[in-house]
A and B are shown apart, each in its own frame.
Chain A
Amino acid sequence: MIKDLFSKRRKYASMPAEREQPKTMNEGVMTKCPKCKTIVYTKELMKHANVCMHCGHHMPMTPSERIDLILDTDSFRELNPHMVSADPLEFPEYKEKLEKDQKKTGHKEAVVTGEGTIGGTPVVLGVMDPAFRMGSMGSVVGEKITRAIERALDLHAPFILFSASGGARMQEGILSLMQMAKTSAALKKMDEAGLLFVSVMTHPTTGGVSASFASLGDYNFAEPEALIGFAGRRIIEQTIRQELPEDFQTAEFLLKHGQLDKVLHRQDMKNVLSAIVQMHT
């Protein structure tokens, strides 16, 4: 009886990612930087990993762009690509919203996970997508991240996660909250096994995601100017009845307050991650 309780049920479906996915966030020939308003060729921008060539502003990336940027070419094999929400609260309009975002992004949920290599070393990678329900974490996001961590444990490989999330997904109620505990518990196993977890927070990483796995890296990095925090700016201003500094809850603000190891420019991302992985093999 008790043995059954602790036996490991593992069901992995590994599939190459060959589904149709939008390759980029930028559809038109020209793209305008939301920060400096400079208009640039989209193709040029993509060559620069969606970083504005004029002001260095980091624009959003799709999971597939991110995977291409970080992993060795064609090394990615996706895990659990078909897991979908079961709508536990039967929340009004939730299913429709999910379907809409599935069409928009080309994947079934707000995180893409899988295995690949960096400089030839196997890693497990997760990339959250802020374009899917604001990257919010419900049961599927929590389960996919947990299985990715368990996969890393099996392979004895590092786990790297790019977070981008508005927090726990309200439409799945308490089950969303519990994903914070589930993912953090899985990371404890990695910790105990002496395995490497690198967390890279991208814009935005807030609420229940910042208050769980995203803050639990052996190394916590963030992209420049990314918004990172627990509570929303508006809520805090209403609570304390004072205006907050402009750079409040930016990556640079967190760095200054000792909450990050490093702010990492996207152009250095692969090199730094690659070096870290090398230092831990």
Chain B
Amino acid sequence: MENHLPFEKPIMELRNKIDELKSFTDEKDIDLSGEIEKLEQRLEQLEAEVYNNLKPWQRVQIARHPERPTTLDYIDSLFEQFIELHGDRLFGDDEAIVGGIAFFEGSPVTVIGHQRGRDTKENVRRNFGMPHPEGYRKALRLMKQAEKFNRPVICFVDTKGAYPGKAAEERGQSEAIARNLMEMAGLKVPVISVVIGEGGSGGGLALGVANHVHMFENSWYSTISPEGASSILWKDASYAREAAEAMRITAGDLKEFGVIDEIVKEPRGGAHHDPKEQMAILRKTLQQSLKDLLVLTPNELIESRYEKFKQMGTFEESDF
């Protein structure tokens, strides 16, 4: 793994050392197998230590890893005959959100997700996965279409947030997000949302009013990004690590708050360490969700979605 994260440095160093010894053995014909075995045990230990105790900020870094699978990667490997559909019919086509129709396990579904770029050039085109209003309006158009043709909607959430720009405001960023929240609440078909990377505030939630909301083990979902929270709390964006802890943004936290249904396991070290394995895990999650939801009537789907969000929040009531 070339693109390792800062906290993975000790692991990488140890791994390099083992590789060195191995090539030394090959070249010089000296038996170092005892040494190598010891170091390999140590590596196993170290990996367990690091990856089984990931801190919130480390998870944020994994969520943002450039090699982490994106929406289109999941679409390519989990869905068949995907046909991408473009445009909001009002202004343009926002490539920060992709959507279309496909088969999942033989049944037609509508699939929509934030799409960040997999390299710099693509990131420019996709605005780093930060949508404008037309992205949300395209998403809503596709959801309404799914409702018309009675097929489930599957959403992948992966954005730092809705784009904070001049044009976005002029074209009604607020209204576009708000409209999605309201209309998603009323969809007569099953809606499943999976936070696969970053769940940046309202920009993420606009694809997140679902019957089932699942969240990858190393993703984050929050009212405000760790950097944003840091600037507000400490007037300085460089305390993102501390903010990531204080804001309780990990899958485990959200499960505790009753905001998500299931934590989607990731291969050790994150989805990018074994994308194939990750696809298999997600496939199972989606299969189960669809199985649970397809037995509900439209009215049950709407009512249970409503009750799900209605119970979110904590407060105290007294008589005085």
Q: Tell whether, in the assembled complex, residue B257 and residue A175 are in contact, meaning their CB atoms are under 8 Å apart.
A: yes
Task: Count contacts on B: residues with CB < 8 A to the other chain.
Answer: 58
Chain B proximity mask over A178-211: 1 for CB below 8 Å, otherwise 0: 1111101111110110000000000000011011
* B309 A182 Cβ-Cβ under 8 A: yes
Q: Mark A224-241, 1 if CB is under 8 A from B, else 0.
A: 000011111001100110
B267-285 Cβ-contact flags toward A at 8 Å (1 or 0): 0000000000000000000
Closest 7 CB pairs of A and B: A139-B313, A231-B164, A185-B185, A184-B181, A215-B178, A86-B314, A210-B174
Minimum CB distance partner of B224 in chain A: A170
User: Could you tell me which A residues sit within 8 Å of B by CB distance?
Assistant: 2, 5-6, 11, 13, 80, 82-86, 88-89, 91-92, 138-140, 142-143, 146, 168-170, 172-182, 184-189, 191-192, 207-208, 210-216, 228-232, 235-236, 239-240, 242, 244, 248-249, 257-259
Partner of B205, one of A84, A139, A181, A188: A181
Query: Which B residues are in CB contact (< 8 Å) with A212?
Result: 177-178, 181, 202
Q: List 13 A-B contacts (CB under 8 A).
A: A82-B320, A86-B316, A169-B223, A174-B253, A175-B312, A181-B181, A181-B209, A184-B178, A185-B182, A185-B209, A185-B306, A214-B178, A230-B169
> Mostly helix, strand, loop or mixed at chain A's interface?
helix
| B246 contact set on A, CB distance < 8 A | 89, 91-92
Selected contact of A231 from candidates B169, B209, B232, B249, CB within 8 Å: B169
Number of residue pairs across A and B with beta carbons under 8 Å?
Answer: 200
Q: Which residues of A contact B319 (CB under 8 A)?
A: 13, 82
A6 partner, pick from B163, B208, B304, beta carbons under 8 A: B304
Shortest Cβ distance from B277 into chain A, in angstroms?
Answer: 28
Q: Closest residue of chain A to B173, judged by CB?
A: A230
The answer for the CA separation of A173 and B228 in the assembled complex, in Å, is 12
- A177, A178, A210, A216, most chain B CB atoms within 10 A: A178
The answer to whether residues A176 and B183 also contact, given A88-B257, A139-B313, A181-B208 and a CB cut-off of 8 A, is no
For A177, list chain B residues within 8 Å (CB): 201-202, 205, 222-223
Q: Do residues A174 and B178 form an inter-chain contact, with CB atoms below 8 A? A: no
Let me know if B222 and A216 touch, CB within 8 A. Answer: no
In the complex the two chains form, what is the Cα distance from A139 to B223 in whole Å?
A: 13
Which of A176, A242, A257 touches B223 (beta carbons < 8 Å)? A176
Minimum Cβ distance to chain B for residue A13 (Å): 7
Given A177-B222, A180-B181, A230-B312 contact (CB < 8 Å): no
A191/B182 in contact, CB under 8 A: yes
Cβ of B279 to closest chain A Cβ, rounded Å? 27
B114 → chain A closest CB, angstroms? 16
Query: Which residues of chain A are within 8 angstroms of B318 by Cβ–Cβ distance?
Result: 82, 84
On chain B, the residues within 8 Å of A140 by CB distance are: 313, 315
CA distance A175 to B165 in the complex (A): 26
Nearest chain B residue, comparing its CB with the CB of A82: B318
Does B29 interact with chain A (Cβ within 8 Å)? no
Give chain B residues whose Cβ lies under 8 Å from the Cβ of A239.
Answer: 163-165
